[in-house]
Structure 1
Amino acid sequence: MAEDLKKMYYTIVTDHFPSEIRITFGDQTLIYKKRTWDIEVEPGVIERRGLRYGENPDQEAALYELVAGNLILGECEFIHPNLGLVSSLREQDFIQFGKHPSKINLTDIDSGLNILRYLNEKPCCVIIKHNNPSGVAYGNSLEEAFLRAFKADRIAAFGGVVVLNRPVDKACAEAIASNYFEVVVAPEYEEGAIEILKAKKSLRIIRIKRMDRLQNYRNYKIVEFKSLIDGGLIVQVSQSNKINRPEDLKPAVAVKDGIEYKCLREPTEREVKDMLFGWAVELGVTSNSVLFVKDECTVAIGTGEQDRVGCTEIAIFKAYTKFADLLCYEKYGIPYKQLELEVAKGIRPKEDKERIDEETKEKKAGLIGAVMVSDGFLPFRDSVDVVAKQGVTAILQPGGSIRDWEVIEACNEYQIAMKFTGQRAFRH
């Protein structure tokens, strides 16, 4: 029975989607071709197949590439053919197929690219899990960027997708290969790196050559489709990042009963860099979301919550959980949960856990001096009160609440710097 359950994850589901899709917008037509690959379905047997399966093993799915048509609606010109990234992957781009990709693998890669297109100034790593980043970081080297992103959330990174914006060298490959991931994606792989990564037989190793021009995709527009259960569709134009430079940040100012309220402390140069970095990450996180950034590396990412302060508290909880786990792993070589279990069973002295807990509390899980980034405005001051206790020193948020004045007052009480984006970044 257990073997039957495992088998479903390795089974390739035959899809019945057509080889071509045409979508007509008035008198304009877009043409899409289904992407398939030559897959070794069993030793020595090669078949032409598409995606392994959809979000789950019992869902058929297909990948399509835009091959013809150039859509223009009003003053908006959408992305044109021959700019494929994930949708144009050929067999030669899969350096190692591993288990050939499912829908989630490819959408995770796309989610990573969605963030990386705004973060190309330095070596950068995005680790994606279920279409959300678990860790994102810049580094002086690609290995450092990977290790910082990985350590930001070692727990969630397990089985994730590693997306990198520079060619993978041997040092970075060794760091990746020492952990378990489903997919690694980069523009290129230097000599010796592929051999190191191939030691992980199920790892999908993918090259996306156009990544060296990923910044060109910052402002390309696409049509986004949402299917309804009644067969209907909602379509919208994709969003672009409007906060790319320090001068794009707006002062936190509000007027209440004729009185102007203004955030008094200006962010430092480091806090501004973290605001810009954090906003680029925030555009790729499921809403409602709040994240914390320090030194151009995520500290914790809270995703998909219904209320703002609740998401803030969850992000703080995650920061403490991940920080304690990393400390535990680096000190004892085991996860924090295993430490808890061994202490409870009397296998390990309780002082071992107490040391980890005390250091985590003392350092406030790395949140001291961090920047909070929110994808929507803060409707009340409660989120400010919560993060101030953790030593957060700056906040970036869209602004636009009728209680902006109250939030500004709270920031001034705690000497927290705050800037507005004037742009909301909801992603559902």
Structure 2
Amino acid sequence: MSNLKDMYKTLQQDPFPREMTLRLGDKELVFRKRTWEIDGETKGLRYGENPDQPAALYEPVSGELDADGVALRGPGKGLVSAISEEHMLQAGKHPGKINLTDVDNGLNILQYLEAKPAAVILKHNNPCGAAWSDDGIATALRRAFDADRIAAFGGAIVLNRPVDMDCAQVINSAYFEVVAAPDFAPDALDELKKRKNLRIIKLPGINDLSMLGAEPFLDVKSLVDGGVIVQFSFRNRIRTVEDFLPAKAEKDGASFIARGPEKAEAEDLLFAWAVESGVTSNSVLFVKDGATVAIGTGEQDRVGCVQLAVSKAYTKYADLLAFDELGKSLFEVQLAAREDDAMADALADIQRRTAEAKGGIQGSVAVSDGFFPFRDGVDLCIEQGVSAIAQPGGSIRDHEIIQAVNEATPQVAMVFTGQRSFKH
């Protein structure tokens, strides 16, 4: 290819058939390939995960599946797979797989956050910032963006409330590729269309997300030998703060029980566990006042998840200070500080305040998608000033984990979720 940039603009030839049928025992589900007419050209997905991978999107249109008497999600409940030209309020170009799977994972998280206006910003199928707020969708989005301004660049925004003008102005204050919401106010839509490359997607089905949360779908994983693994999709059992379990354990005839969370801590743990459902494992999240502080994801060891989340929290906190006060990213300030004494002093002050605030972790809560096999990860959380922790429980060392939070000053709360939330 003479110009490497052209690969990202080129539509792959789509070799996939118009229909696909999935049969499970004596039940079958029929899917139809989704295509769109954009700029006079009717095509499906632009390409898959990479520009040289042809791909197709299929929507279930008829039939039903069940397993062991459990009905699996089927036709008539479309979200991303049901997107039509009518829903693409501004398309720019035919969408690629990554655009749509990011939106889909945002919906996966938002199905558990219907109680308040909530916003999720995603990159590479992981949330980089999420928040909910009683003060409205614009506030939720601003807080989600401030959680990780760096990673949010070029990301996908998914919202569970209509976009108003205040929200549109937050969106247009930075560069995003996609925004999906249940609706858009006319003036807000006009504002968003000033960004010609922004894909604007109206998804009315977002209003029905909460009804889908308890209904599983067939989750399919393809193997390199052409085989497949099927499973029920993950269903979050923590829908209210009352669903958390007391953190209890016994060892050698002794009983151990952790402090239960206070109301504000429990609300943050509830929010954090909902966000956790959309994060690649292994992962640990910090949340404070209804917004993510940092998300450590994709590590092989639990303590490494905590270390990654802590490191990210410090970097993002310092970057936000630098941008708000100096109009520069943290890395631009670091570069300028090499030759500018005034900038070096400003950087030192930012670093000092970041350390004092422990990267914003002080007073936050933490959730872990798997149990802590050792107390080292918990001790690291405690060192950073977390006030409460939620984790699945079930480790042979649960008593040691509970001892860690009970020995903390002030005492840290802990609850069990009673389920693991791995996502591979």
- TM-score over 0.5 for the alignment? yes
Alignment of 1:188-227 (within 5 A): 188-227=183-222
Match of 1:58 among 52, 59, 65: 52
What percentage of residue pairs aligned between the two structures are identical?
54
SS of the aligned residue for 1:53 comes to: coil
Matched, 1:259 2:258: no
**Alpha-carbon distance between aligned partners in 1 of 2:227 and 2:152, rounded to the nearest angstrom:** 36
Structure 2 residue 78 is matched with structure 1 residue 84: yes
Aligned to 2:89: 95
**Residue 149 of structure 2 contacts residue 320 of structure 2 at CA under 8 Å; is this kept in 1?**
yes
Match of 2:167 among 162, 169, 172: 172
Instruction: Report the Cα distance in structure 1 between the residues aligned to 2:170 and 2:241, rounded to whole angstroms.
Output: 34
State the match for 2:150 in structure 1.
155
Cα displacement (A) at 1:54: 0.2
Deviation at 1:76, TM superposition (A): 1.1
Aligned residue number for residue 43 of structure 1: none
Matched, 1:244 2:239: yes
Q: Does 1:106 align with 2:100?
A: yes
Alpha-carbon distance in structure 2 between the residues aligned to 1:379 and 1:373: 14
Give the Å deviation of 1:259: 1.4
- Distance in 1 (CA, whole Å) between partners of 2:119 and 2:112 is 12
Would you say 1:19 and 2:18 are equivalent positions? yes
TM-score calculated relative to the size of structure 1: 0.97
Which deviates more from structure 2 when the two are superposed, residues 72-81 or residues 120-129?
A: 72-81
Partner of 2:382: 388
Q: Say yes or no: does 1:185 pair with 2:180.
A: yes
Match of 1:419 in 2: 415
Deviation string for 1:278-324 (max 9, x for gaps)? 00000110000000011111000011110000110100000000000
Structure 1 residue 179, shift from structure 2 partner: 0.6
CA contact (8 A) 1:328 1:335 kept: yes
Contact preservation (8 Å) 2:333, 2:343: no
Instruction: Supply the RMSD in Å over aligned alpha carbons.
Output: 1.0
Deviation at 1:347, TM superposition (A): 7.2
Could you tell me which of 131, 139, 142 is aligned with 1:137?
Answer: 131
Q: Where does structure 1 differ by over 4 angstroms across 4 or more consecutive aligned residues?
A: none
The answer (yes or no) to whether the contact 1:99–1:203 under 8 Å persists in 2 is no
Instruction: Choose which of 99, 106, 109 in structure 2 pairs with 1:115.
Output: 109
Inter-partner Cα distance in structure 1 for 2:350 and 2:225: 52
Q: CA–CA distance in 1 between the matches of 2:29 and 2:208?
A: 24
**DSSP 3-state at the match of 2:169:** helix
Structure 1 match to 2:305: 311
**Aligned residue pairs, count:** 421
Which of 251, 274, 281 is 1:280 aligned to? 274
Change in CA separation of 1:349 and 1:210 when aligned onto 2, cut-off 3 Å: closer
Corresponding residue for residue 30 of structure 1: 29
Q: Deviations over 1:99-119 (max 9, x none)?
A: 321000000000000000100
Post-superposition shift, 1:191?
A: 2.1
Deviation at 1:348?
A: 4.8
> Structure 1, residues 239-274: CA drift from partner, whole Å, max 9, x if none?
1110011221101111111211111x2211000001
SS across alignment from 2:266 = helix
Consecutive unaligned residues in structure 2, runs of 5 or more: none
Deviation at 1:75, TM superposition (A): 2.3
Question: What secondary structure sits across from 2:8 in the alignment?
Answer: coil
Contact 2:98–2:124 (CA<8 Å) still a contact in 1? yes
Aligned to 1:235: 230
Contact 1:342–1:348 (8 Å) recurs in 2: no
Tell me the SS of whatever aligns to 1:91: coil
* Structure 2 counterparts to residues 356-367 of structure 1, below 5 A: 356-367=350-361
Aligned equivalents of 1:347, 1:13: Cα separation in 2: 52
Shift of 1:349: 3.2
